[in-house]
Amino acid sequence: MDEISQQILKELLPAEKEIAPLPVSKKAAGPDAMDHWSLPVLMERGSYLRRMATYGDGSASETLKEFPGHFTMLSVRNRDGEAEVHEHFADLFYVLDGRATMVTGGTVKAAKTVAPGETRGASIEGGSRQEMKAGDVVHVPAGLPHQMLVAGEKTICCFVIKIQEMP
């Protein structure tokens, strides 16, 4: 956890203990290794990320573990996200809590390349919309423009698998 996160956490939770990272390594341990995150552990981490999002830019996430060809994340959002296109990664969302609308397809307005194979923009024009709620699974293939919209005071917490796809 970086210094800024620690400072925000100390301000938000002065009487509470520091929240420890998940008890898993960031790199795969071997071919026989198994990883397990229970719903209560993910929701506790989500609660922490929700506080970070509230006092930050409306979004907070953490990488849980990296594997060959994919990695897992926990992501919380309480505001609309930017439009995104990942040239080499598909996103698989499992909604743990909350609601949002996923906009896919169309054209990314005010698109800019932020890293190799990564495009961001203000919004999506002409896409289709799908509501996401707890228990839903959403797959966004590599190369498909997408944007998550969060209405009003709502939030969404997702377990995300970023899957590398080479053209």
Nearest-CA neighbor of 64 among 31, 38, 103, 90?
38
| Domain annotation covers residue 29 | no
Q: Output the pTM of the full model.
A: 0.80
| Domain annotation covers residue 27 | no
Question: CB–CB of 60/2 below 8 Å?
Answer: no
Q: Is the pLDDT of residue 19 over 90?
A: no
**Residue 29 tokens, joined:** 């341990």
| Domain annotation covers residue 132 | yes
Q: For a pLDDT cut of 90, what percent of the chain falls above it?
A: 77
| Domain annotation covers residue 95 | yes
**Residue 73 tokens, joined:** 């994340």
Q: How confident is the model at residue 48 (pLDDT cuts 50, 70, 90)?
A: very high
CA dihedral 76, 82, 88, 90 (to 10 degrees): 50
The C-alpha atoms of residue 56 and residue 19 are separated, in whole angstroms, by: 17
- Each residue's pLDDT tens digit, 129-166: 999 999 999 999 999 999 999 998 899 999 999 999 97
Q: What is the mean pLDDT of the chain?
A: 87
The whole-number average pLDDT for the span 46-71 is: 95
Q: Is the pLDDT of residue 1 over 50?
A: no
Residue 102, domain extent: 3-22+36-164
Comparison of pLDDT for 101 and 31, the residue scoring more: 101
CB atoms within 10 A of CB 96: 19
Q: How many separate domains does the chain show?
A: 1
| Domain annotation covers residue 122 | yes
- Each residue's pLDDT tens digit, 118-129: 999 999 999 999
Q: Give pLDDT, residue 26.
A: 46
CATH, residue 150? 2.60.120.10
Q: Is the pLDDT of residue 15 over 50?
A: no
| Domain annotation covers residue 140 | yes
**Residue 88 tokens, joined:** 């080499």
Per this entry, what is the length of the chain? Answer: 167
Q: Give pLDDT, residue 91.
A: 97
Q: Give pLDDT, residue 14.
A: 45
Q: Is the pLDDT of residue 70 over 80?
A: yes
